[in-house]
Structure formats: C-alpha cells, structure tokens
Amino acid sequence: MPTDPNPASNAPLSETRSRQIVIAGAGIAGLTAAIAFARQGFAVRVYEKAAKLEEIGAGIQLSPNATRLLDELGVLDTVLPAASFPQAVVLRSATSRTMRELARVPLGEAAERRWGAPYLVLHRADLQSALLSSAARHADITITTAAGVRDMAVHPLGVTSSIDLGGRVSEAKSLLLIGADGVWSSIRGLAGAAGKSRFSGKIAWRATIRSEGAAAALLGELDAHGSVTAFLAPDAHLIAYPVRSGGAINLVAITRGADQPQGWAGSTDMALLRKATRRHAPALRQLIEQAGAWTSFALHTVDPAMPWTIPGGVALIGDAAHAMMPYAAQGAAMGIEDACRLAALVAATPDRIGVALEAWEAERRPRIARVLKRGALNERAWHARGPVALVRNLVLGSRSSERLAADLDWLYGWKAD
Ligand SMILES: Cc1cc2nc3c(=O)[nH]c(=O)nc-3n(C[C@H](O)[C@H](O)[C@H](O)COP(=O)(O)OP(=O)(O)OC[C@H]3O[C@@H](n4cnc5c(N)ncnc54)[C@H](O)[C@@H]3O)c2cc1C
C-alpha cells in the first residue's frame, strides 16, 4: 500500500478515471471497501481526516455474516490472532442478586457449524489494524491521513472531490466517491441528505479491565470470561466480553444521559452511572466501581430514510448511511456488508454506475431495515421493567438455545446472492 505521492492527483476524465475510487474515511467500512474494490481491479484512494488512526474505541462484536466476508477478502487470518471466540451469548438479569441466567445462544463451534463462519469479539483498533495491514498488501490502494474530504461535485463522467490537506486543498477525480466517514459524516450533507445525526438520549459507558485482575473475578465466577454476557435491567444494561485475545475484558453500559461533543472517549460524571445501576446486583455495582476509569460517548443515529446514493457516483456506507443503536451489535458488520456488496455490484456494471448504485441501495435497504427492527426489539426486551420484564423472562425461558439460535439465521447466516 504506497502512501499517495500526489495525494489528490488530478487525472483527466479518461479510461483511468473509470477505474478510480475515492473513499472518505479509513474506519471499518472505508477500509473494507478499499480492499473489496482493489480486489475487483479498481485503484482506490482513501482519505482519512484524522492525522493518525488512533487506538481509541472499545470492543466490537463480529458476527458470522461479517467474518465470512472478511474471510473472502483474505483479512480474517490477520484478524484472528487478536480476537476471541466467545462460547455463547448469555442474557442475565442484572437486578436479581444471583444475576440469574435468562437465555443462552451457543456460539463457538456451534456458530461455525450453524452459520458457516466464526463469531468473534475483539478491540475495534485491532480490527482496524488488521484491515490496514491487509490494505498494505494491495499496490492499488493508497491511504492519506490528515486529509478530510470537504467538498464534491458530480459530473456526467464521475465525481470530483476536494481534499483538505492541512489547509491546502487539492482535487481527486473518480468514478465513485464513497462516504465512509462515520456517524458525523460530512459527505452525507454534501450528498443532499439532511446532514445531522440524531442524539438517541442514551450514552455508552466503557471500561476495559484485565482478565486476571480483581474486578474480573466476579465475571470469572459467572463463567463470563469466555462469552458475551448481557446483564439486563430497566433503562440500563451492561455487557462484558473478552478482547485482546482474552487478555482484557471490555465492559459497556448503556444508560440515559445528555448529549456530548463528537468523540469516542468523553467523560461523564460517574454519579450518573451509579444512579442508573443502583438496583443492579451488589456484585455488578462492585464491578463498576472496581473497573477504574470509565469513558463515555453519546449514542447518535442516522435516519436511514435519507438517500444513500447519487446516481452520478456517490454512495454512503456504514454509519454515514445508517448509524444504529448497538442493541443488535451490527454496526461494524453492516459497514462490512455494505462495502463488499457495493464493490461487487459496481464491478458488475462499472460503465453504468447509476444502475449499480440503484441496485446496491435496493438490496441493502431491506436488510438494514430488518437489522434496525431487531435492534429495537432487543432494546425493548433488554430494558424492560415490571410485567413486561416478567413476560420477557417467561418467553426466553420457554425457548431452547436451538430456537434462539434459529431466530438469528437470517442475520448471521446471510449470504449475498
Ligand atoms: C475512533 C473511533 C472509535 C470508535 N469506538 C467505538 C466504540 O467504542 N464502540 C462502538 O460501538 N463504536 C465505536 N466506533 C464506531 C464504530 O467503529 C462504527 O459504528 C462501525 O465500525 C462503523 O464504521 P464506519 O467505518 O462506518 O465509521 P467509523 O468507524 O466511525 O469511521 C469513519 C472514519 O471517517 C473519518 N472521517 C470523518 N469525516 C471525514 C472526512 N470528511 N474525510 C475523511 N475522513 C473522514 C473518521 O475520522 C473515521 O476514521 C468508533 C469509531 C471511531 C472512528
């Protein structure tokens, strides 16, 4: 992966340009798109606003629908050393003293057998590094950091993007501009969609603890070191799963809260987390205290009804198009799916970009809508209180693990036609 010597080279509208792709954003969706397009024979230039791809962020769950695609792209082997293979998703009551188990969906080998690819958990930074080193193996991908895409114009023969290189503005011409610039996307606004994300009223808290430390002992007692465990409670749930090849445990709590400035490592008064979890089992409250420094970020979503494409050659993918709440744990996976399907469809009809983009959007919309629906269902179930929580517990208790897994076949077993 050479760095771009002339980061925004101004190739004339030509044969060359018809094989050029410009991507705004080197996050999970943008890097996946870079690799997917390069494998289809396109020359890809990725522009990333941040000066450095930092180690910020927390854990990410990668379900089999995503790991299957990473395998097809030749990235999975690079991801695996930093990942853990959870043996189950376990739902527990956060408010019962014993943190009673409510349901269990088997993962591990059962996931691979059932859905044909592994279910992994890992740190976001490790996934991003694996994608970067895979991109580095492609001579046709250049990545320029400290380079924000700040404007674009669509012409009959393609798109011209303006790149801000630390105050110096340069232009890049391409067949397609992909806005993979995340929940606070600026390409979304440029593409004519109402630009702003929406604050959900909820914030995510995160902390990472060592798996060997005192704070993790409680999770060990629950056999939670090797699984994804969700502790459910009205208005506030807590999730724990291993990251860094099992060397650390990622903790995420979702509570109500106020909006925060853009970013992934803000700080909020711990009193709010304590209040939201005051009815949690004493052991969980102890875990929250012992976990050390918690950071927080505001959960923003993007209205998926907005257009995701401009026929002349612009597509929004991942969070830029449809940032969602984390209840189905599919944010990264949907970005990966978007990227791979976009590359496949554009490669099928590169001389009719409008047709390819229309086909891509038509294919992705129902899938994203179904995932959003599942996330909303999980939110209601996980934060239920009173009689609704009782019904939830009865329903979950009456379903076998096999049945709970089968309910996810459409999601994890997904394969593009
Ligand atoms: C640093 C960071 C930490 C995160 N931490 C968490 C977390 O802890 N938990 C969680 O659930 N989700 C987190 N996320 C979001 C999660 O990674 C995404 O929901 C998911 O992976 C979808 O990825 P995406 O590629 O669509 O967007 P993102 O991963 O957000 O990537 C978008 C990229 O575009 C870049 N960018 C923005 N504007 C421009 C522009 N105009 N030109 C060029 N580049 C631009 C951004 O700097 C960023 O690198 C984090 C994202 C980032 C960037």
For 158-215, write each residue's pLDDT tens digit: 999 999 998 899 999 999 999 999 999 999 988 876 668 999 999 999 999 988 877 7
CA dist., res. 188 & res. 327, Å (int): 24
* pLDDT tier, 72 (very low <50, low <70, confident <90, very high otherwise): very high
Q: What percent of the chain has pLDDT over 70?
A: 94
Distance CA 249, CA 230 (A): 13
pLDDT of residue 245: 80
Q: What is the pLDDT of residues 320-337, one digit of tens each?
A: 999 999 999 999 999 999
Tell me which residue has its CA closest to atom 37 in ligand 1. Answer: 181
Alpha carbons within 13 A on the beta-carbon side of 264: 13
- Mean pLDDT along residues 266-286: 91
Cβ pair 7, 165 in contact under 8 A: yes
CA-nearest of 30, 61, 28 to 326 is: 61
The long-range contacts involving 157-164, CB below 8 angstroms and separated by at least 24 positions, are 157/13, 157/17, 158/13, 158/17, 158/18, 158/20, 158/312, 158/313, 159/22, 159/312, 159/313, 159/314, 161/8, 161/22, 161/24, 161/47, 163/7, 163/8, 163/47
Say yes or no: CB of residue 49 within 6 Å of ligand 1.
Answer: yes
CB atoms closer than 10 angstroms to residue 243 = 23
Residue 154 φ then ψ, to 5°: -100, 130
Q: What is the mean pLDDT of residues 139-146?
A: 96
Q: How far is CA 44 from the centre of its chain?
A: 22
Query: What is the pLDDT confidence band of residue 16, given thresholds at 50, 70 and 90?
Result: low
Whole-number average pLDDT of the chain = 91
Q: What's the predicted TM-score (pTM) here?
A: 0.94
Q: Which atom of ligand 1 is nearest to the CA of 187?
A: 41
Interval between CA 322 and ligand 1 midpoint (Å): 13
- Is the shortest distance between the CB of 264 and ligand 1 below 6 Å? yes
Atom from ligand 1 closest to the CA of residue 28: 25
**Per-residue CA distances from 351 to 10, 213, 262, 263, 345 (Å):** 21, 57, 38, 39, 11
